[in-house]
Structure 1
Amino acid sequence: MSYQTLEVFAEGPVAQVWINRPDLRNAFNETVIAELTRAFTELGTNDEVRAIVLGGRGKVFCAGADLNWMKAMAGYTREQNRADALGLATMLKVMHDCPKPTIARIHGPCFAGGMGLAAVCDFAFAAQSAEFCLSEVKLGLIPATIGPYVVQAMGARAAQRYFLSAEKFSAAEAYRIGFIHEICPDEELDDTIDALLGLLVDNSPNAVRAAKRLVHDLTDAPLTDALIADTAERIADIRASDEGREGVKSFLEKRKPSWIIPDPTPDES
């Protein structure tokens, strides 16, 4: 599928999604929102894809909303603003619920809605030079649609500070508050992500999908009898699945499970 604002590559088990608006600091508008929704929907249902990396071309991960888009919104009615915001909220939910593991590749500024993109990914890896900001209140706005994901990623106490102050903070601070998983030198960012991808693609695709859903469902869930029963059902289902049986069997037989993708045959010419 062709895209106006994205570059999407799905070769082998890893898909790469690049926001490709470097001259506009990879800021998003209604087209970017629609295309990210479509890309993550399609990649999420592609059986060949086992992991997705989201990045930004140029020197910026994502600077938030496009200024021209914001100018247009200034003339919207409340109902038009609501419909527009629902499009962004839908995109974030689609990305958050994508059944494949997702990795945010963060370099340079990650501001406002860009922090929402990072927060909906399962992993957030950042270069040391990355910087972060929830700048909405400076413009008389609030980070509402991205809020549930950002608060979950950094915690309520940190969110109180950065939602209200709109101050910039470093990759080191983002790591300290738990918003990102790992920091590395800029030149090592891709190698660090590749190492994680090597782990992800060797795991059972069905188990990874079920484990991701399990984390979502257990987050803030009360410890009830119904929840305990549900977890028992889940482990019973996965044990009885084809991949569950194959995983245990291959472990006992001391061989690689069938879902492991063999290394390409080396060129002997």
Structure 2
Amino acid sequence: MIHRTTTPLVRRTDDSGIATLTLDSPHNRNALSARLVDDLVAHLNRAAEDSGIRAVLLTHTGEAFCSGIDLTEARAGTGVTAERLADLLRTVVEAPKPVVARVTGPARAGGLGLLGACDIVAAGPAASFAFTEVRIGLAPAVLSTTVLPRLDPRAAARYYLTGEPFDSAEAARIGLVTIADDDVDAALEPVLAGLRSAAPGALAAAKHLTTTNTRQFFAAYTSELIALAARLAGGAEAGEGIASFLERRSPVWKSASSETSCAPTQ
């Protein structure tokens, strides 16, 4: 449900059949806080039920597209659970309307899961991407439901394991991004025009076809990935990693333990 007693963290505007949902929480780099996720799911569901809408355009205010899970909430135990993140990603994937992402700034961790769930992603020159979980004692668990079905396996291994950032061109090369362009809005014009001209029933059927692999991955691995995320989040490494990030210091890692585990592969 959208919170009505506070300022919404997701804003909607409509234009000729396109519902633009803008992540509007720049103070924390559009992190996936519990409230932002609630707002976003509610807007996605409303757009899905709106007969006047052909597609959803997901964009952002501020410098960053999405910095991943809100770590302040995670440290306090009040943040988005692995189950809730999986629900958000499934909502995007299973929506009957195509969801297009417009990215003009950094996307990190869970934010990349959101991009993986979108049907089309356009990114500009200021966009950058990183699976930063290993640097704070976690792993890209639940977001793998949408990312691994799209990503080149060698690239997934490199960027999952190192946490290093990569640019829009590389994101397009490895399958995370559809379009990398210096002018994102110009690049999106023919995409949005095509979606506006499509028959709604045919559009939903076409999306169902193109999301087959992701939906199958969800069915096979979501429970396992949620369990992995919960196990890692409750471990000492995550406690130290999140604390060091919020305290702006380097983490102090102890020797490897049995709490780490590999996510399933395709």
Query: Smaller-chain TM-score range?
Result: 0.7 to 0.9
AA in 1 matched with 2:153: A
2:205 to 206, 210, 231: 210
- Counterpart CA distance in 2 for 1:175 and 1:103 is 15
Q: Is the 8 A contact 2:58 2:102 kept in 1?
A: yes
Select the structure with the greater relative contact order (CA < 8 A; seq sep ≥ 6): 2
Select which of 175, 192, 195 maps to 1:197. Answer: 192
Which stretch of structure 1 is more off in the superposition, 133-142 or 190-199? 190-199
Partner residue of 2:55?
51
1:93-126 deviation line (CA, Å, top 9, x unaligned): 0011111111111111111111111110000100
2:132 maps to 1:128: no
The answer to whether residue 34 in structure 2 is matched with residue 30 in structure 1 is yes
Q: Give the deviation of 1:148 after TM superposition.
A: 1.6
What RMSD, in angstroms, separates the aligned Cα atoms of the two structures? 2.0
- Counterpart secondary structure, 1:103: strand
* Counterpart selection for 1:147 from 118, 128, 144: 144
Deviation at 1:156, TM superposition (A): 2.5
Maintained 8 Å contact 2:149/2:214: no
In 2, Cα distance between equivalents of 1:205 and 1:120: 20
TM-score normalised to structure 2 length: 0.75
Aligned-residue offset at 1:157: 2.3
Matching residue of 1:118 = 115
State the alpha-carbon separation in 1 of the partners of residues 156 and 194 from structure 2: 31
Deviation at 1:194, TM superposition (A): 2.4
Q: Using the alignment, how far apart are the partners of 1:218 and 1:105 within structure 2?
A: 23
TM-aligned CA deviation for residue 218 of structure 1: 6.3
Structure 2: which amino acid aligns with 1:137? Answer: V
TM-score by length of structure 1 reads 0.74
Letter aligned with residue 156 of structure 1: P
Report the Cα distance in structure 1 between the residues aligned to 2:144 and 2:207, rounded to whole angstroms. 20
> How many residues align structurally?
212
Partner of 1:20 in structure 2?
A: 24
The aligned residue for residue 239 of structure 2 is none
- Counterpart CA distance in 2 for 1:194 and 1:88 is 30
Q: What is the match of residue 173 of structure 2?
A: 176
Q: How much does 1:191 deviate? A: 2.2
Note the C-alpha offset of 1:70: 2.0
Give, in angstroms, the shift of residue 219 of structure 1.
6.8
CA deviation string 1:192-216 (max 9, x = no partner): 2122101111111111100111222
Q: Are 1:6 and 2:10 matched, yes or no?
A: yes
Question: What is the alpha-carbon distance in structure 2 between the residues aligned to residue 114 and residue 214 of structure 1?
Answer: 24
Gaps of 5+ in 2: 217-266
* Separation in 2, partners of 1:68, 1:117: 20
State the SS of the aligned residue for 1:180. coil
Corresponding residue for 1:70?
74
**Identity rate of aligned residues, in percent?**
32
